[in-house]
């Protein structure tokens, strides 16, 4: 599921709760269970079990694609990678097939980290910066300006698509939202970042923020078998629309491979300089 809008949606679900699920804020951790060792990045399973009990969830936030639980003493970070998901459920039910790590609370609920492909990771650290320290700016934050983006594009000579996927350049975009942002900004995915004009950089900045804001409003995108109620997939302009007409000009959307990733763009609207 997981790019910035989907992670933000899950984050809100955990923090605000729903009519049937309580918020996790303020809950006291009773115990934990690691069902697949490699899903736990750090510390060891033993230390994980030792440190968690008794800690309270005091804050739930997001940084890039990481979900950050601030606990009494430590920070618990989760990255969902390709197929991860987080669910709040009764503590006494049988763990589902792809559940990898469970955290039990004193109120009879548990948080389940479900991850079919086992790419996701969980960290328990005393300083979250140990995990998120290398991330680039947060695209929706007030301190991320178009001027910033322009400057940083000038500092390197890389193709736009792989550059925007690089989390140390900008945090939170993934394959869907890079394609969507570049299409809205009318920029070719292979364009050299150093050739981007200031005007184009402003357009890219606006596009990224518009696409992410709209996607969050629609609770993210739900595709394939992972479904969480988001419906932004019905508003894609480029992603997964190969052969279908461009929203702006009607030209069929083209699909190419860039760095092993499927890349969708309009050959008419998104031309290289």
Partner DNA sequence: CACGAGACCTGTTCGC
Partner DNA sequence: TGCGAACAGGTCTCGT
- The residues carrying an active-site annotation are 2-3, 65, 261
* Binding residue (CB under 7 A) for DNA from 15, 63, 118, 209: 118
Looking at the Cβ atoms of 55 and 132, the one nearer to DNA is: 132
| Interacting span for DNA (CB under 7 A) from 48-56, 138-146, 205-213, 260-268 | 260-268
* Binding residue (CB under 7 A) for DNA from 128, 136, 139, 162: 162
Is residue 176 a contact residue for DNA (CB under 7 A)?
Answer: yes
Tracing tokens 């920070």 back to the chain, one arrives at: 75
Is residue 157 a contact residue for DNA (CB under 7 A)?
Answer: yes
Looking only at the bridges linking them, the beta strands covering 75-79 and 99-105 are unpaired
* Residue 193 half-sphere exposure toward CB, CA atoms < 13 A: 19
* Binding residue (CB under 7 A) for DNA from 133, 143, 225, 243: 225
| Interacting span for DNA (CB under 7 A) from 20-28, 67-75, 150-158, 206-214 | 150-158
Is residue 42 a contact residue for DNA (CB under 7 A)?
Answer: no
Crossing angle of the two packed helices 146-154 and 198-217, in degrees rounded to 10: 120
| Interacting span for DNA (CB under 7 A) from 10-18, 68-76, 104-112, 217-225 | 217-225
| Interacting span for DNA (CB under 7 A) from 70-78, 87-95, 169-177, 244-252 | 169-177
Is residue 226 a contact residue for DNA (CB under 7 A)?
Answer: yes
* Binding residue (CB under 7 A) for DNA from 15, 30, 81, 209: 81
Is residue 100 a contact residue for DNA (CB under 7 A)?
Answer: no
User: Based on the number of CB atoms within 10 Å of its own CB, is 118 exposed (0-12), middle (13-18) or buried (19 or more)?
Assistant: middle
Nearest-angstrom CA–CA distance, 211 and 176: 10
Pull the structure tokens for residue 144.
């991320």
Pull the structure tokens for residue 252.
């069929």
Is residue 197 a contact residue for DNA (CB under 7 A)?
Answer: no
Q: Are 67 and 10 in contact (CB under 8 A)?
A: yes
DSSP string computed for 134-202: T----TTSTT--HHHHHHHHHT---BHHHHHH-TTTSSS--HHHHHHHHHHHT--TT-BGGG--HHHHH
Looking at the Cβ atoms of 156 and 251, the one nearer to DNA is: 156
**DSSP-based three-state secondary structure for 102:** strand
Contact residues: DNA, CB under 7 A:
1-3, 6, 38, 64-65, 79, 81-83, 97-98, 116-119, 156-159, 162-163, 165, 167, 174-176, 192, 220-226, 230, 258-262
């Amino acid at each position: 599921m997981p790019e910035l809008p989907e992670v933000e949606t899950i984050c809100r679900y955990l923090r605000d709760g729903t009519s049937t699920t309580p918020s996790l804020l303020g809950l006291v951790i009773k115990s934990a269970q690691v069902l697949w060792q490699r899903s736990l990045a750090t510390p060891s399973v033993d230390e994980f079990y030792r440190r968690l009990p008794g800690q309270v969830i005091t804050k739930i936030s997001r940084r890039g694609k990481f979900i950050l639980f601030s606990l009494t003493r430590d920070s618990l970070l989760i990255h969902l990678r390709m197929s991860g998901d987080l669910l709040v459920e009764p503590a006494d039910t049988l763990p589902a097939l792809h559940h990898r790590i469970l955290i039990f609370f004193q109120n009879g609920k548990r948080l389940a980290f479900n991850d079919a492909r086992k790419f996701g990771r969980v960290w328990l650290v005393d300083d979250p910066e140990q995990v998120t320290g290398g991330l680039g700016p947060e695209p929706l934050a007030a301190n991320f300006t178009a001027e910033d983006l322009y400057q940083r594009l000038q500092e390197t000579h890389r193709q736009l698509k792989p550059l925007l996927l690089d989390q140390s350049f900008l945090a939170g975009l993934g394959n869907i939202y890079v394609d969507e942002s570049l299409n809205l900004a009318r920029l070719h995915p292979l364009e050299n970042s150093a050739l981007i004009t200031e005007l184009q950089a402003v357009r890219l900045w606006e596009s990224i923020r518009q696409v992410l804001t709209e996607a969050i409003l629609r609770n993210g995108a739900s595709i394939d078998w992972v479904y969480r109620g988001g419906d932004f997939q019905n508003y894609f302009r480029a992603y997964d629309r190969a052969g279908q007409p461009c929203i702006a000009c009607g030209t069929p959307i083209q699909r190419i491979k860039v760095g092993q990733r499927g890349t969708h763009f309009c050959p008419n609207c998104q031309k290289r300089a």
